[in-house]
């Protein structure tokens, strides 16, 4: 029996800066998970991923990442995605320093 589809977002790394980015509803990119387009349909998710796989001048390594949507908004479901979202953990710099 196939596994049920769960909500996803398209994520990748920005080609020039390396930052983690997410596909937004308008087809642009955002660095904020809460602004990402949440994909609830498996076929549509495959279409959106296919659209960005050809945008090699903008991104590296696009893929679908699992998320949940609840009272706290969009949340990652896997440690890897949480780690990517917050950035390196050795000291505060970049987006970590901005959040302080």
**pLDDT at residue number 17:** 85
Q: Show the low-confidence residues of the chain (pLDDT under 70).
A: 87-100
Which of 92, 7, 88, 85 is closest to 41 using CA atoms?
7
**pLDDT at residue number 98:** 65
**pLDDT at residue number 67:** 96
Does residue 14 form part of some domain? Answer: yes
**pLDDT at residue number 90:** 56
Does residue 20 form part of some domain? Answer: yes
Residue whose entry in the numeric block shows the structure tokens 């080609």: 15
Does residue 2 form part of some domain? Answer: no
**pLDDT at residue number 82:** 79
The whole-angstrom separation of Cα 6 and Cα 42 is 8
CB-based contacts of 73, cutoff 8 Å, min separation 6: 34
**pLDDT at residue number 41:** 96
**pLDDT at residue number 94:** 59
Does residue 1 form part of some domain? Answer: no
The total number of structural domains that make up the chain: 1
């Amino acid at each position: 029996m196939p596994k049920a589809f769960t909500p996803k977002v398209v994520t990748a790394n920005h080609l020039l800066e390396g930052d983690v980015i997410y596909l937004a509803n308008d087809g642009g990119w955002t660095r904020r998970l809460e602004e990402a387009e949440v994909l609830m349909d498996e076929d549509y998710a495959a279409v959106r991923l296919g659209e960005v796989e050809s945008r090699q001048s903008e991104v590296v390594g696009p893929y679908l990442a699992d998320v949940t949507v609840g009272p706290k908004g969009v949340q990652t479901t896997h440690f890897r995605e949480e780690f990517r979202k917050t950035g390196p953990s050795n000291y505060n710099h970049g987006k970590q320093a901005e959040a302080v």
